[in-house]
Structure 1
Amino acid sequence: MANLSLFSQIISKLDRGKFTQLVSKKQTDKHNKGFDSWTHLVSMLFCQFAKSTSVRDISNGLRSATGNLNHLGIQKAPSKSSVSYQNKNRNHRLFKEYYFSLLESLGQLSQFKRVKFRIKSKIFLLDSTTISLCLSLFDWAKYKTADNKGAVGIPLQKGSVIVADRFYNDFNLLNARDSHQVFFVVRHNHNLNYLTIKENKLPENSCEHILIDEIIELKGLVSKGKYHKKFRRVAIWDEKNQQTIELITNQMSWTANTISELYKSRWQIEIFFREIKNLLHIKSFVGTSENAVMIQIWTALITILILKALKAMAKYGWHLSNLVAFIRLNIFVKIDLHIWLDKPFDEPLKEPNDKYVQGLLFK
């Protein structure tokens, strides 16, 4: 594998068979003008790994790897006009479905860090993030809806749990969840108007971060008209950020610590959003159409999934930011990917009987 670049070896880890099935299903290679869907995927992944700032950078970057392109499964580097045209016209849902296909397979890796709970319910961690766009360039990008409105259409199965921040503290929405026998753990607003019905006993000599565990009901007529049942209110102390976090839930039987840990697990989404915004090319876009923006977002998600899989497989304790930076600096270096992941700072082994010797550039 040392005869292949790091980028080639990374691309070879992708399930091309599944991608081909999706291409056939969605017919995205019709009228491809010599720039097929696989070449498009590789080009946009290169955009993410190399942090290319334009379609010209993508084209020139891949052209600089002449001789390695066949290992990427592509015949030639695309022109900037080809990348631009297909970003505008090839259906972005191809990349969306491929992301979820990869998520299903890569998510089975035992090395992936997962928060484990003793409850059997399916857990959904809900949050959103904003990507700023200039309306003079992206005239289709209107700020249409609030976080809680976007949550209305999310299907949840009976007995599942939704965990969310205070932006999703909508009593109509919570009532709809409860009526479908869906549990929720949501951070409530500081001005919540309620009446304490019962105080639950706090755990002794353990879980000292649990400050309050009580049963409450809403006091305001408008609020009570939207949600007339009782809530359970749990207040916890967040030592890291030195703040009190107040939660409401319709789950009455779990321990207060379980509710606390459920909300704590939601912070992984905030970390995820920070990672893709800071580490990948998602704050600016190489195309201005809605389809081009969506393709760049979905290929960014595919990239972060690949990076997390590489990090999970490595014996070396990579920080994701360092892994991204090192791959970016060595993207076309020919070195064994797995050896490099495990021992990035070791001197590479020299092959015996080298036929060629690098000449001096300066005497």
Structure 2
Amino acid sequence: MLFPKKKIDSCNYNSYVSPVKSILEYCPELKSRGDRPLKLTFKDQLNALLYFHLYEHESGRELIQELSENEFARQCIAPDGGISRSSFSEAINNRGLEQLQFIFKELVKKAGSILPNEFSELGELIAIDGSLIDACLSMYWADYRKGSKKAKGHFGFSINQGIPTHVYLTDGNGAERPFVSTILSPGQTGVMDRGYQCHDDFDLLQEEGKSFVCRIKELTTRTVLEKYHTSDDDFVFYDAKVLLGTHGVNQTKNPVRVVEYEVDDKKYYVATDRFDLSAHQVAEVYKLRWSIESFFKWWKKSLKVYHLIARSEYGLMVQMLAGLISYLLMAIYCHEEYGEKVTIKRIRELRTDIFNELCAGENSPSARKKVSKTKRNKKKKRKRSYAKT
């Protein structure tokens, strides 16, 4: 188990959570705010959240029931003495955020050192996008529209290694562009859809030593400084160094490159400061942006992150970070065990392997002996109770 407690053991579960163990040794300590000790320590909280995502629970109520009725969960995931739904809810909505942020950042580094670096010839590519999260009307902070509440997650996603690297949370109307510079580090290339087009931001990123490949609107004004050769029979039909925008209004101070191409009768207009790439490579980089959409699909469907177990902004961020940590653990596990990217098929195999190990343990001679002893004690207790009556 992540934090071995009692008799039940699973090599597969240990292997799955092992990357977190060394990080916990220097993780900031979660302390009680009063004199009473915590009913649910941070380790217990993390254990429960990882279990919630691994087994795709539908709600916090289902998780609490599982922690009290499932032998594996009760023995190895739940805290000693169990945990009530109210205590769990209080912990999720008020505690553990600092520790989860620390573990997420450290696990991103660890995954980065383990997972293969694809597309290295294109540089370090970070897809940036936002995703709406359905909220309930009681989540007053999640402003979106009248009669509708939504939050928004803002993500950075490493295209090279297929893992999330950053997450920020706002209400559903939160602007996405301000997070670009925060997500990117010098030398990285942000890959973005046209909602991120901002000429001032393009200048700022270049000044900070950060690059971008961003789809732009077809009718964007441009002043051509130099036009590059393209073939008539090529899917790339335009390549030029330009200044974007209208002079004196919103024109870029620094030249950018615009590459235009057509795929399946659909035209794309992409701006970038990457003059070191060929036009075909620029088109390929933008195509790779789809990896973050695939991640969102997994995030929404497979990890059940949007089955809310928290209502506060704090609690939702706790749940999101736990989901991202689970995804990183799955990515590392699938790579080390199968040499593959994370898939729901492999995660289901992991759950089956854990179940089979536990069944084997329960059918071992020592386990059968323990069960027989328990049955004898219960039988004696019933006889004594019957004798008294």
8 Å CA contact 2:192, 2:215 repeated in 1? yes
* 3-state SS, counterpart of residue 27 of structure 2: helix
The whole-number CA distance in structure 1 between the counterparts of 2:238 and 2:126 is 24
Partner of 1:118: 121
Are positions 1:103 and 2:108 aligned together?
A: yes
Amino acid at match of 1:334: N
The whole-number CA distance in structure 1 between the counterparts of 2:179 and 2:258 is 25
The 5 Å alignment of 1:155-304 reads 156-157=185-186, 159-202=187-230, 208-218=234-244, 220-221=246-247, 223=249, 225-238=250-263, 243-304=266-327
Partner of 1:129: 131
The whole-number CA distance in structure 2 between the counterparts of 1:97 and 1:319 is 23
Amino acid at match of 2:252: Y
Once the two structures are TM-superposed, the CA of residue 146 in structure 1 deviates from its matched residue by 2.0
TM-score (norm 1): 0.77
- Summarize the Cα distance change of 1:13–1:319 in structure 2 as closer, same or farther, 3 Å threshold: closer
* 3-state SS, counterpart of residue 105 of structure 1: helix
8 Å CA contact 1:88, 1:291 repeated in 2? yes
Once the two structures are TM-superposed, the CA of residue 99 in structure 1 deviates from its matched residue by 1.5
Q: Residue by residue, what CA displacement relative to the aligned partner does 1:133-189 show, whole Å, maximum 9, x if unpaired?
A: 12x2211223342222333544632x4432221111101111222233433221111
Moved more, 248-257 or 290-299: 248-257
8 Å CA contact 2:330, 2:342 repeated in 1? no
Equivalent residue in structure 2 for 1:333, among 355, 364, 371:
355
Are positions 1:78 and 2:83 aligned together?
A: yes
* 3-state SS, counterpart of residue 247 of structure 1: strand
The whole-number CA distance in structure 1 between the counterparts of 2:340 and 2:210 is 38
Once the two structures are TM-superposed, the CA of residue 9 in structure 1 deviates from its matched residue by 3.0
Are positions 1:89 and 2:94 aligned together?
A: yes
Structure that is richer in strand per residue: 2
Gaps of 5+ in 2: 2-7, 144-171, 370-389
Once the two structures are TM-superposed, the CA of residue 315 in structure 1 deviates from its matched residue by 3.2
Work out the number of aligned pairs and report it. 333
8 Å CA contact 1:49, 1:327 repeated in 2? no
8 Å CA contact 1:4, 1:68 repeated in 2? no
* Sequence identity percentage: 17
Once the two structures are TM-superposed, the CA of residue 40 in structure 1 deviates from its matched residue by 0.5
Gaps of 5+ in 1: 337-347, 358-363
Q: Residue by residue, what CA displacement relative to the aligned partner does 1:287-335 show, whole Å, maximum 9, x if unpaired?
A: 212221111111111111122222212338687122344455x385133
* 3-state SS, counterpart of residue 178 of structure 2: helix
The whole-number CA distance in structure 1 between the counterparts of 2:236 and 2:32 is 53
Q: Residue by residue, what CA displacement relative to the aligned partner does 1:211-262 show, whole Å, maximum 9, x if unpaired?
A: 3222233463455x441443211123345xx533221122334322332232
- Summarize the Cα distance change of 1:147–1:85 in structure 2 as closer, same or farther, 3 Å threshold: same
8 Å CA contact 1:174, 1:184 repeated in 2? yes
* 3-state SS, counterpart of residue 287 of structure 1: coil
8 Å CA contact 1:5, 1:332 repeated in 2? yes
Q: Determine which structure has greater relative contact order: mean sequence separation of CA pairs < 8 Å that are 6+ residues apart, divided by chain length.
A: 1
Partner of 2:21: 16
Once the two structures are TM-superposed, the CA of residue 209 in structure 1 deviates from its matched residue by 3.9
Structure that is richer in helix per residue: 2
8 Å CA contact 2:202, 2:252 repeated in 1? yes
8 Å CA contact 1:237, 1:244 repeated in 2? yes
Amino acid at match of 1:215: K
- Summarize the Cα distance change of 1:181–1:48 in structure 2 as closer, same or farther, 3 Å threshold: closer
8 Å CA contact 1:236, 1:260 repeated in 2? yes
Partner of 1:145: 174
The whole-number CA distance in structure 1 between the counterparts of 2:79 and 2:66 is 14
